[in-house]
Structure 1
Amino acid sequence: MSLKKDIPSIKTKDMSNEDWLKIRTKSIGGSDCGAILGMNKYESPLSLYNKKLGIIEQEDISEKLPVVFGNWNEDLVAKLFEKETGKKVRNHNYMMYHKDYPFISANVDKVLVSENAILECKTASEFKKKDWIDGNVPGSYMAQCYHYMLVTGAERVYIAVLFGNSTFQWEVVERDEEVIQSILETEINFWNNHVEKRIPPETDGSEASENALNQMWKQTKPQSVELDDQRAELLRQWSVIKQQRTQLDKDERAIKNKLREYMGENEQGETENFKVTWKPQKSNRFDKKRFEKENPELAKQYINTSESRVLRISEL
């Protein structure tokens, strides 16, 4: 049994990248699921909301090297999977949509030939291997797998990853109706109660949300606004956190100094769970002030002026 053939779909094989980006804004895709669930460090519910509504521009990452590398090696990863498992896969050049909720979509890498299953192909650096230890699948990828099962009715998703050019690994995520139902409810809420009603999700502490807010409010007015009681409480919390962070920084520095004291002239020390090194390190720094003083006209040619908003808080 292969993937169902009656899933609402549109062909994507000859679609331009511009058209692809446009249709991506019209629905929740697999890579969006992790953002909505708070599992994607590069995207937050707020930044995703803004991109779906065109409030901030959807970045075209198709020419970025990691994306190009991943696309070029997708077939290689699939062949490695076939060789290791004996299973057969094929391309599936369609954007599929949930039969009841057309704002939920799936664009999968490959489908199994004789199994109601999907293959997702990933590439990653050697440094990412630690995220896959003991059969673990990173949270955002797990969310993507369940999202695809939600749309397609697939029984499982195989996810294969090539680390650098030396290590290949594959895992399987089995269908879990309870998890899938929970994701469905979360995605319906995000689309119906935020995107459709144009009500932004709550702002969180992610870098993605910070970037989204900076893009939303680039233009400023030279005026002041009175902060209400809710904002006053946020500032009180900020003050407490600042004091705690200052103390934690001191505590951390004290621990490091005690380690330095114990290690003395030794460059390295180890316990069962930790390794500590204290080695000489050389660094080369560009003397900007001297260069500008000795070569003022030349220095001006290499100055780029950029503008961004900086949030500063001071206690009165």
Structure 2
Amino acid sequence: MNLNYIPSVLVDTEGLTEEEWLNYRRLGIGGSDAAAIMGQSPFCTKRDLYYDKCGIQPVLEEAESNWVAKEVGHRLEDLVAEIFSRKTGLKVYPIRKMFRHPLYPFMVADVDFFIELPGGATGILECKTTNYNCQDKWANDTVPVNYEYQGRHYMAVMNLDVVYFACLYGNNENEFIIRKMERDLETEQGLIEEEENFWLENVQKKVEPPYTEKPDLVLESIRRFCGPAEEDADEVALSSAHAGAIERYLELKEKKSAVDAESKKLEVEMKAAYTGIVEDMGISCKAALKTGNGNYIVTYNPVYRTGIDKKNLERLKLNHTDIYEDYVTVTESRRFSVKKGAA
């Protein structure tokens, strides 16, 4: 593997508009794209990435569900870098340029910050934010896999050997995670090969990559690019290639029905087991029992839900149309079903 190179500068990003920056990103594969190519992105499929690089817009232009989280992350980058610097004593600095790999020109990098390491070497700093409930994704000194591929992509482009990840998950400097990751040339080579194949065989040849990701991610991608359902659309004649999938679906549906029936039976038996306890508890929400086998704490807590039932929703629509239209939103979901008829 040739390591005798320095990255070239694709563009100075200082002063670029967001649209201009995105257009430059479409000239290659960036660090945040790497996980999708490796099938490890929690946000998009490889097909989504292909559409983006080819300039294909989704039919459903929806506001990003996580736009606030992205904006918070962007605005707090400088703060995260400052906390990292104070905790480690290392100097960090930005270079507002988008770099390109000289040997693999489809690989580009827009790095958050660089680090002055002891001995004069240079490292990379990636700044992240998350919420308190998601800190377990960093447990046991690990780095979320999508960030790992991003870091390895950057090390490859910049020809640097160390990347640090700094993640703020609270509102003080102690709720802060630091992870160090060193270059792994074998893993890097595998990543480069996958990126090269995607760029040359899919993007350049305009060949859609197949869906291989988790079903929910794939279904959302299909919905976004195909658009909303049309009940009057013509019936689609499926090819025989789908026969196996349909038979498998029906087989799994039958198994699920059996499991669901058993689950409902067990729920009834469980309720029968505790009705006498609830009777003795009365209005109390907590009870205790001490036995030779152990001590038990029993709770029977209320759960309150606020909502409007269907009948009152119709009344609201009829009598207060203005309020109904201001506050009621309609979202589309689709239910998949198969009925088997005679051959």
Report the Cα distance in structure 2 between the residues aligned to 1:6 and 1:202, rounded to whole angstroms: 32
Q: TM-score, normalised by structure 2?
A: 0.79
Give the SS at the match of 2:191. helix
What residue is the counterpart of 1:79 in the other structure? 82
Report the Cα distance in structure 2 between the residues aligned to 1:223 and 1:82, rounded to whole angstroms: 61
Distance apart, 1:291 and its partner CA: 4.4
8 Å CA contact retained: 2:129, 2:168: yes
Give the SS at the match of 1:47. helix
Distance 1:268 1:195, change over 3 A: farther
Distance apart, 1:244 and its partner CA: 2.9
What residue is the counterpart of 2:57 in the other structure? 56
8 Å CA contact retained: 2:47, 2:208: yes
Could you list the per-position Cα deviations for residues 270-292 of structure 1 after superposition, in whole angstroms to 9, with x for gaps in the alignment? xxxxx997632121222342243
What residue is the counterpart of 2:131 in the other structure? 125
Read off the aligned partner of 2:149 and give its amino acid letter. Answer: A
Residue 211 in structure 1 maps to residue 193 in structure 2: no
What residue is the counterpart of 2:282 in the other structure? none
Q: How does 1:35-50 map to 2 (within 5 A)?
A: 35-50=36-51
Report the Cα distance in structure 1 between the residues aligned to 2:39 and 2:49, rounded to whole angstroms: 11
Distance 1:177 1:311, change over 3 A: same
What residue is the counterpart of 2:13 in the other structure? 12
What residue is the counterpart of 2:294 in the other structure? none
Residue 179 in structure 1 maps to residue 180 in structure 2: no
Distance apart, 1:60 and its partner CA: 8.1
Distance apart, 1:50 and its partner CA: 1.3
Give the SS at the match of 1:147. helix
8 Å CA contact retained: 1:87, 1:112: yes
8 Å CA contact retained: 1:162, 1:169: yes
8 Å CA contact retained: 1:53, 1:195: yes
Give the SS at the match of 1:118. strand
Task: Give RMSD over aligned pairs.
Answer: 3.2
Distance 1:259 1:174, change over 3 A: farther
Q: Could you list the runs of 5+ residues in structure 2 that have no partner in the other structure?
A: 279-284, 289-296
User: Which range is displaced more, 251-260 or 214-223?
Assistant: 251-260
8 Å CA contact retained: 1:89, 1:110: yes
8 Å CA contact retained: 1:56, 1:215: no
Residue 155 in structure 1 maps to residue 155 in structure 2: no
Which of 95, 105, 113 is the matching residue for 1:92? 95
Greater Rg over alpha carbons, structure: 2
**Residue identity (%):** 28
Q: How does 1:1-316 map to 2 (within 5 A)?
A: 6-57=7-58, 64-113=67-116, 114-166=120-172, 167-204=175-212, 205-218=214-227, 222-250=233-261, 264-265=277-278, 279-293=301-315, 296-299=318-321, 302-303=324-325, 310=334, 312-316=336-340
Distance apart, 1:52 and its partner CA: 1.4
Give the SS at the match of 2:127. strand
Report the Cα distance in structure 1 between the residues aligned to 2:206 and 2:298, rounded to whole angstroms: 51
Report the Cα distance in structure 1 between the residues aligned to 2:62 and 2:107, rounded to whole angstroms: 21
Report the Cα distance in structure 2 between the residues aligned to 1:161 and 1:72, rounded to whole angstroms: 13
Distance 1:237 1:91, change over 3 A: same
User: Which range is displaced more, 114-123 or 247-256?
Assistant: 247-256
What residue is the counterpart of 1:272 in the other structure? none
User: Which range is displaced more, 242-251 or 95-104?
Assistant: 242-251
Give the SS at the match of 1:151. helix
Could you list the per-position Cα deviations for residues 51-100 of structure 1 after superposition, in whole angstroms to 9, with x for gaps in the alignment? 21122259886x93222221221111111111111111101211111112
Report the Cα distance in structure 2 between the residues aligned to 1:261 and 1:177, rounded to whole angstroms: 61
Give the SS at the match of 2:320. helix
